[in-house]
A and B are shown apart, each in its own frame.
Chain A
Amino acid sequence: MGKRRRGRTRWALIMFLVGAVAVLDARADERSDLRAALGKLPYGIVYESYRGSDWELFAMQADGSAGRNLTRSPSTDDLYPHASPDGKRICFVVDEGKGKARSRNVYLLGADGTGRKLLARNARQPCWGPDGRRVAYLPGEFDRFTTTDYATRGLVIHDLATGRSRRHVNDKLHHLYNPCWSPGGGWFTATVHGGMGHRHANLAFPAAGQGVFKIPHVGGCRPDLSPDGKRVSWNPSDHAIAVADVTLSPHGPAVTNVRKVVTCDKDHEVYHSDWSPDGKYLAFSYGPKGGEQVGAMAKGWHICVADASRTNVWIALTSDGQSNKEPDWFPVARGGLGR
């Protein structure tokens, strides 16, 4: 009797191990397939990277190849890059100056790394309008420099053609961070922290109106809208990136089909999700516990890409151990970055 039971236990253990090996093999195949698929995409990824003494903007192909330093500006910290819809320009923030003269400002840069131009002083976290002709950014709350991401008041829309800026009509916008302009141009999403009556929430508000709506079922931070505007990705915690179907309407946002795309253990963090131009992939940052805020050190963080339709099918594109964060996709097909 005892021998028979031991035999059954042994068989169960063997079957479990065989199953586990099969699952691991399948995962390895999925990752290999993902890398191959990324190699065929006409996209690149731009990101911020700490290079020993300062932050620079780097760009690489979607499979992690052909990485290069776009800014080469050792006297400033260049951060939070966002590529224009056509991939020909980047808006980003620059921390510059020392001591009491230090400031965070918004700049523009050409795809080839030339044409660096100041867009706004004491401003942060710019994003592109869908037409590629306007940039929205968040003015700093105080003159004094801070890396605190929600230290903002209002939202400004800058027209690149005319050079004119205008404040969003809702003058109550306060303590927003991580804004994202909807592909249709009618909405913004952002996270609020300790402002506008909210403790901490992800919000949607019209680009030209007074309403402000809490995005239901999307708790956490850093919402990012897919290129078709029908899905949203965000951080429900330090250790997960989720996506959901979203509808933005005058009645407010509606969210369904919430699912996790990336999860990690408690000793690591995932942040800064960004949809690929075809809406199939999410780029994100991953690494050991560190600073996810713009300009905060996060040694050992890597730029990664996940299949947005699966759970935990992802690969790391960088491997240099630097603080690599804030990835943003761009198209390279028509004279975009890196061409």
Chain B
Amino acid sequence: MTSTGWWPAACLLGLVALTVAPGLSCRKDGAGGGRDPLPIVRTSSGVEMVLLPGGFFEMGSAGGERDERPVHRVWIDALLMDRTEVTQDQFRRLQMPDPSHFKGPRRPVEHATFAEVVAFCNERSAAEGLGACYRLDEQRGTWSCDFDATGYRLPTEAEWEYACRASTTAERYFGPGGEPALRKHAWYAANASKATHPVGLKKPNGWGLYDLYGNVAEWCNDGYDPNYYRTSPARNPAGPPAARLVVLRGGAWNSKPDACRSAARAGEDPKFHDVCFTRDSVGFRCVRKPIKD
């Protein structure tokens, strides 16, 4: 076994031990499709998150778009990630107005301003007694993220791709199979009937995460820089210091198959608090540090 081979397993074992703690409901899920199942944590507000082990992965795609190159090796610390995109029911339970176009309690939240997204992260943290990650400047339309805080935040795009790949290296986490296989894993232009769908209806990836491809494209925490991979750090890259656009990952209900790939990147103007021009094809999921609840 190489040194890179046993590290993720060791981290996983450590984290499994860490999660057996008061206040956490933890179980294994068989979604791994033959791989080792990852622990599923139910948070105090009843949301399922997958405990992802720390590990290395190859980020980007040599055969993809220019902004996906060069492929580079990245380390990601262990983290908890929502199994599904944040749902409208989650918004309403926090008494936050649901901006979504396609209504349904189990459908993903979309059409939100970036200010609403980061505000949700902070409210969700507060509801569970966790420290807020985001500091908002309403006047300037800017925000900053404290990665050391205990609360919820958006994943970095490296975390997102790491979670999406789930130790795979192919264009899509399910390997070959093209569109017939993609239909089983994603709501996209070919099968979504021009709308979002309730989360978790398609097959998950090997780590038990749903709807990573399609349904809604997912906001990441990073600014979008097409050249970022040339200079990004090797450990927990968190995006360029400044950028006009914010990263979107995974494609949406209105995407072509090419956008529904593990390495596919897109940038979108966050329109910080401008409700007029938000998109009904963009949503998000949250991550947080794997600490005791």
Residues of B within 8 A of A175 (CB): 97, 99
Residues of A within 8 A of B141 (CB): 289-291
Residues of A within 8 A of B35 (CB): none
Residues of A within 8 A of B273 (CB): 291, 293, 296
B276 interface contact, C-beta 8 A:
yes
Which residue from A143, A146, A293 sits with its C-beta under 8 Å from B97? A146
Please state if A148 and B276 are interface contacts (CB–CB under 8 Å): no
Residues of B within 8 A of A220 (CB): 276
Interface size on B (CB < 8 Å)? Answer: 20
B208 to nearest A CB, angstroms? Answer: 30
Please state if A235 and B276 are interface contacts (CB–CB under 8 Å): yes
A149 interface contact, C-beta 8 A:
yes
B112 to nearest A CB, angstroms? Answer: 9
Please state if B138 and A238 are interface contacts (CB–CB under 8 Å): no
A85 to nearest B CB, angstroms? Answer: 29
A-B contact count (CB 8 A): 60
Which residue from B97, B100, B139, B277 sits with its C-beta under 8 Å from A142? B97
* Given known contacts A148-B116, A150-B275, A194 and B99 CB-to-CB distance under 8 angstroms: yes
A178 to nearest B CB, angstroms? Answer: 11
Residues of A within 8 A of B111 (CB): 193-194, 199-200
Please state if B139 and A298 are interface contacts (CB–CB under 8 Å): yes
B98 interface contact, C-beta 8 A:
yes
Assembly CA distance A235 to B277 (angstroms): 12
Interface of B is mostly: loop
User: Residue on B with the closest CB to A140?
Assistant: B97
B95 interface contact, C-beta 8 A:
yes
Within 8 A of B (CB), among A264-297: 289-293, 296-297
Residues of A within 8 A of B99 (CB): 150, 175, 193-194
A30 interface contact, C-beta 8 A:
no
A219 to nearest B CB, angstroms? Answer: 9
B96 interface contact, C-beta 8 A:
yes
Residue ranges of A at the interface with B (Cβ–Cβ < 8 Å): 141-144, 146, 148-151, 175, 193-194, 198-200, 220-221, 235, 237-238, 289-293, 296-299
10 contacts between A and B (CB under 8 A): A143-B95, A148-B116, A150-B275, A193-B111, A194-B101, A199-B111, A221-B276, A238-B274, A293-B273, A297-B139
Across the A-B interface, give the 8 residue pairs with the lowest CB-CB distance, nearest first. A194-B99, A142-B95, A151-B97, A144-B95, A199-B101, A297-B139, A193-B275, A221-B276
